[in-house]
């Protein structure tokens, strides 16, 4: 029997043996660290017997799939602990996720955050008991009976959804048995000590708001205690940076029960948003875009032609006008198509780059709403580019370079994914192949590394997604470039070519920020609310030492305003130390302290978020320096980390 390993080497064995046996033969250290195997590309328990020629990859917690198996095993340990402490609890699902795992539980009596410590203590006992984790299977009918006897209705429902004749797998550890496809570790002791229950939330069964609300317990697990500690530190930092908390403290935005998922921007938040939009307009004008605006509500026939009515209707808000069906737009593209079709086009007009800061509405389930990150209405910084086939590659490269310049400005690192044809798609195989190869060749020519995300494209075309990495390592999908052959065909768009004949244009859909609201949330957390000076809602706070110097402070404010600098005057009768601390809490980039000496000499005492006390400066010099910093969109580094928090 020949076993081909990941590095291409081949091991020969004369008799069947388990994945774990092969790991031991290769290295005792590897055997200790091994979590699962991958046999001919299929994940398998370490106990799986190999009795034929195959390819084998042995995965540890350093591998994504190995870590997922460790976390999935930890979720079973957590479920076992819960059943010991709360025997009447009913189990739903408990998968591993990107940063840990969770389990949805139907508790007879409510469980609160303070109960997590008790569950964790019981998990510790189970790990210490070193219970073997064993797999067995049952025919579907017997599996249903088995779960009914255990009074686990959610598991019964899951099994009943599986086809007749299906063999159902279970995993057992001690007195606990759970429905599961696996794979899992070999023993509860292998879960180790690096796990922690993080929080409690509500979750509808199967994500359907018409079903019962279950209790979801979030947790995480790692192979090493140091990795867990680093994760917890990161999560604590994330709490400090939570845009919902900072948005309230800094007066950026609010939510209200009158419109769940529909954000209200407050004056300072509008300043921030408008500054971003001014920047957007500036770079798009330089890149040869024209700006348009299209209606928020359009009739059903338009959405049927575009394909959204068939492929996206469940996310659309609809209404009736003059006894006809209309929809509030979830996307801007059909409006852009109508603008293109509003007049005859020549090849000389192409590429035609049309940008739109369009307000869109999408129905999100209430349980998925999250501050500005997941909302029901937002401004999408769309652009639609209409072009000839020969222009595809250059236009994609131009968009990729524009998106890169935006992200570099804010100091974001990012990675790129190319998402291919989904199952629910429209168009011919030939169009999809041409579109996908066009995106690939553009990325290759730019030298941009990317990974293939199979089946995650839009229903009308493949796409390039840009995933930002923020200040504490979290990733966010924002920018996207989507190549579309379908809408031009469905709307019968045309241009007259150099040959005098009519041709069909190709269309690019693209965003740089994505949702402006979401991008503001990301920026708020990335900078912990301490926005760069050019973006800060208040750039300078003028702080008179006492009421005696209000006249001079007002004179300073007037000159700041005339120079186009966003300033505020603190006129409260408070001590100067208190005013400085309050300005620091508000993340103001600069404070200008003015008193007798400053008034007599016509200067200002500068304190910054970056260096603290920067000494006295002539007001004209300060204004010149800050205007340059704003014009250059400089991101100054913080020298006093405590000013962040």
Q: Which residues are catalytic?
A: 333, 362, 380, 382, 384, 463, 509
Quick check: 185 and 132 in contact, CB under 8 A?
A: no
Name the token pair of 330: 């979830």
- For 409-420, letters b (16+ CB in 10 Å) and e give ebebebebbbbb
Residue 183: CB atoms within 10 Å? 28
Q: Is 125 helix (H, G, I), strand (E, B) or coil?
A: helix
CA distance 559 to 619: 9
Residue 108: CB atoms within 10 Å? 10
Rg (CA), the chain: 30
**73, 82, 151: which is closest to 119 by C-alpha?**
82
Q: Is 514 helix (H, G, I), strand (E, B) or coil?
A: strand
C-beta pairs of 309-314 under 8 Å, 24+ apart in sequence = 311/424, 311/426, 311/459, 312/459, 314/363
Residue 199, preceding peptide bond in cis (omega within 30° of 0): no
User: Is the four-CA dihedral 476, 478, 481, 482 of positive or negative sign?
Assistant: positive
Quick check: 633 and 534 in contact, CB under 8 A?
A: yes
Quick check: 476 and 468 in contact, CB under 8 A?
A: yes
CA distance 638 to 427: 51
In sequence order, which residues have a C-beta less than 8 Å from that of residue 321 and are 6 or more positions away? 297, 299
Name the token pair of 460: 């009308």
Q: What secondary structure letter does DSSP report for 637?
A: P
């Amino acid at each position: 029997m020949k076993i081909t390993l990941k590095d291409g080497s081949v091991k020969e064995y004369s008799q069947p043996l388990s994945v774990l046996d092969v790991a031991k033969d290769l290295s005792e250290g590897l055997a200790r660290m091994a979590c699962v195997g991958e046999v001919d590309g299929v994940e398998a328990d370490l106990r799986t017997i190999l009795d034929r020629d195959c390819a084998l990859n042995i995965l540890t917690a350093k591998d994504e799939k190995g870590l997922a198996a460790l976390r999935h095993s930890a979720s079973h340990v957590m479920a076992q602990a819960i059943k010991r402490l709360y025997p009447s609890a009913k189990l739903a699902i408990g998968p591993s996720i990107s940063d840990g795992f969770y389990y949805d539980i139907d508790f007879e009596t409510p469980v609160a955050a303070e109960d997590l410590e008790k569950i964790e203590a019981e998990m510790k006992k189970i790990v210490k008991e070193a219970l073997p984790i064993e797999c067995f299977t049952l025919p579907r009918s017997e599996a249903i009976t088995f779960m009914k006897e255990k009074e686990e209705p959610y598991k019964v429902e899951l099994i009943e959804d599986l086809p007749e004749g299906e063999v159902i797998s279970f995993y057992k550890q001690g007195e606990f048995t759970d429905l599961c496809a696996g794979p899992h570790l070999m023993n509860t002791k292998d879960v180790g000590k690096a796990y922690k229950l993080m929080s409690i939330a509500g979750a509808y069964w199967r994500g359907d708001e018409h079903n019962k609300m279950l209790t979801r317990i979030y947790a995480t697990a790692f192979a090493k205690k140091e990795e867990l500690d680093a994760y917890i530190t990161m999560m604590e930092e994330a709490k400090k940076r939570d845009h919902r908390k900072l948005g309230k403290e800094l007066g950026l935005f609010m939510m209200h029960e009158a419109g769940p998922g529909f954000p209200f921007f407050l004056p300072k938040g509008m300043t921030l948003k408008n500054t971003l939009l001014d920047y957007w307009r500036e770079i798009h004008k330089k890149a040869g875009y024209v700006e348009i605006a299209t209606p928020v509500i359009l009739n059903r026939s338009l959405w049927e032609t575009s394909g959204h009515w068939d492929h996206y209707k469940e996310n659309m808000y609809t209404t009736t006008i003059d006894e006809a069906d209309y929809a509030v737009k979830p996307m801007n593209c059909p409006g852009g198509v109508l603008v293109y079709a509003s007049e005859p086009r020549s090849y000389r007009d192409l590429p035609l780059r049309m940008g739109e800061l369009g307000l869109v509405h999408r129905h999100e389930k209430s349980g998925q709403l999250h501050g500005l990150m997941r909302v029901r209405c937002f401004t999408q910084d769309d652009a639609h580019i209409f072009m000839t086939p020969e222009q595809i590659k250059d236009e994609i490269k131009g968009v990729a370079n524009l998106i890169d310049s935006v992200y570099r400005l804010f100091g974001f690192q990012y990675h790129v994914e190319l998402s291919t044809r989904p199952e629910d798609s429209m168009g011919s195989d030939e169009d999809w192949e041409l579109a996908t190869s066009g995106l690939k060749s553009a990325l290759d020519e730019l030298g941009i590394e990317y990974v293939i995300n199979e089946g995650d494209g839009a229903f009308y075309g493949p796409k390039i997604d840009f995933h930002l990495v923020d200040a504490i390592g979290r990733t966010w999908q924002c920018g996207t470039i989507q190549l579309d052959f379908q809408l031009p065909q469905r709307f019968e768009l045309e241009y007259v070519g150099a040959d005098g004949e009519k041709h069909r244009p190709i269309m690019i859909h693209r965003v740089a920020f994505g949702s402006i609201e979401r991008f503001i949330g990301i920026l708020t957390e990335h900078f912990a609310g301490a926005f760069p000076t050019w973006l800060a809602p208040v750039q300078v706070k003028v702080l008179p030492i006492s009421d005696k110097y209000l006249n001079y402070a007002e004179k300073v404010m007037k000159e700041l305003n005339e120079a186009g600098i966003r300033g505020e005057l603190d006129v409260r009768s408070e001590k100067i130390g208190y005013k400085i601390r309050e300005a620091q809490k508000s993340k103001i980039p600069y404070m200008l302290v003015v008193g007798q000496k400053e008034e007599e000499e016509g200067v200002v005492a500068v304190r910054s978020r970056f260096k603290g006390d920067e000494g006295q400066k002539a007001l004209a010099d300060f204004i010149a320096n800050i205007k340059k910093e704003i014009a250059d969109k400089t991101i100054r580094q913080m020298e006093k980390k405590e000013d962040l928090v």
